[in-house]
Structure 1
Amino acid sequence: MPIYGSASVAESGPQATVRVPATSANLGPGFDSLGLALDLYDEVTAEATSGTAVTVEVEGEGEGTVPTDERHLVAATMIRTFAHLDLAPPGLKLKCRNRIPHARGLGSSSAAIVAGIMLADALAGAGLTRTEKLALADAIEGHPDNVAPCLLGGFTIAYSTEDGAKAVRLDPSPRIHPWVYIPQVKGLTSVARAALPERVPHADAVFNLSRSALLVAAVSRQPSRLFEATEDRLHQSYRAEGMPESTRLLHDLRTAGIAAAISGAGPTVLALAVDDAELPEAPEGFEARRLDFGSGAEQVATSRRE
């Protein structure tokens, strides 16, 4: 393998572009395991340059607020991936066109991590498999529920093994139409996780096991079961105090008979409409978007400047 950062590689100017989707994890009962890809995409271009400097240009979400050097999550992930490949990192020039809202429970950090792994793999020509990319993304993110649908698309069931995270992808029923209610306020995954208890009642664990199993059938084949399948007793109630507006919206949607859940760690609310079901307008402070299910992360361009 070439050692990136060497003169011969830097002079060739390898460049790659990847597209990565937003995701919604948990879907109610499937804590840290179930997720959906949504058709809202970030696009990131990376170019290897001479020297060791890292520069990042951000357009859209995060512009003016996220780091623009090696601390940027895409860049930091690329550097970690080069190390995983036993390669010295090159200088990097990144351009991020961000559409996924940050800190809203729509997988923006997972998208950045997946983008970084794919870009480093493309520049190195290493040929990492999807399984290897998933295991590495899980090791960086700490849980696979968002990185799995980001990589694979559709509806995913992710799980951990001694060899790293793995996942199964299923096609969601075409009768299901995801909506997201995105609040103006942001949330932090670390804060949401800190609200969870170390132990939960056995009955609640059994409840969520049954609902998670039902959710797999509901999303893939039996949408009529979605309302019951998105019930949860493991995490949403414990996090409610930290996102009162989202909790209120979730309650109102479910009272109206709509299958809804907090998206990931929140505060976005995910609603799964079936067929032509009408959903209420977004309350003040929220933006409602109807989305489709997304495809997995993909490399959309690669080039080497002579």
Structure 2
Amino acid sequence: MANQLHPQLSTKYPTLKYGLLLLPLMSSAVIAADKPLQESKPFRLNISQVSTQSAEVANGNTELQRDSLLLSAGMNIPLDQQWSVGFNVGYDRLNYDWRNISLTGPNNVSSLFGSDGQSWDHINRYRAGVSLNYRMDKRWSFSLAPQIQYAYADTASADQAQSYGVVASVMYALKSGNMIGFGVAYLNDIDEVRTVPYLAMRWQIDEHWALANPFQAGFSGPAGLELSYKFNPDWNIGFGSSRRTERFLIEDDDTVVETNEWVSYLRGGWQATSALSVNLYAGYYFDSEVEVTNQTALKIDNQGAVALDIGFKF
């Protein structure tokens, strides 16, 4: 459930970066500029497990079920009253369980497995990034976040699977304390260059309700929106949605698989202690498709997903 679960207005949660709840865990380009200058716990560690239902591919017998283990770590360091810098690294293990693969007939999915038809079972994804954040005054703040990623299947090698990019954002704080802004992600992904604009927001509607970005913009797609309700300092729920994109190398001749899908989810959050947070997600992937370089996209049936994210700050 793409990469990256996620920044909350009142408490910060990681990002579900894989598809729907994928906590990807990119650089904190959107929200970092709004953090307090003095961070009592500048280090964070997130561990997430994501699982989807089995879904039919190409309206045939072929089925795909996905499980992902997502790990990320980061820190944010204030340099002075205006400047701060952040660092983050991550590793994701994405397991693809293919069943009843159809290589002939009207529901042929052989294009998904490269020129030799060899199936791939898991993806390794390594991520790293930095963010430079500048608070010009009480109203305006800016962020610039370069990032790099390697994403490749067990049938390919890392040396040809590099992607890099930069996310830039500007945020404006209203007198109410709410923030709204705009960002652009320039991504030189594997065998493709993309420019993705997105809306950045942190809006406290009232004492309990808030609207904010649940995902970080980056290789996994735009930031999306989450509406959350805070019962008390320890418990909250949220509902969010976003468009997610995944690209990874399956053969060393620039043969790339790309998945695109909308993801919606319901999240329950528990702030167990000042250092420990737990988020449980129930989500749904829809309008999903998967394609290989220069091939016709194949539809993936809608599917449910669940995810558990545990975050530590210290």
More helix by share: 1
More strand by share: 2
Q: TM-score, normalised by structure 2?
A: 0.29
Which one scores higher on RCO, CA 8 angstroms, separation ≥ 6? Answer: 1
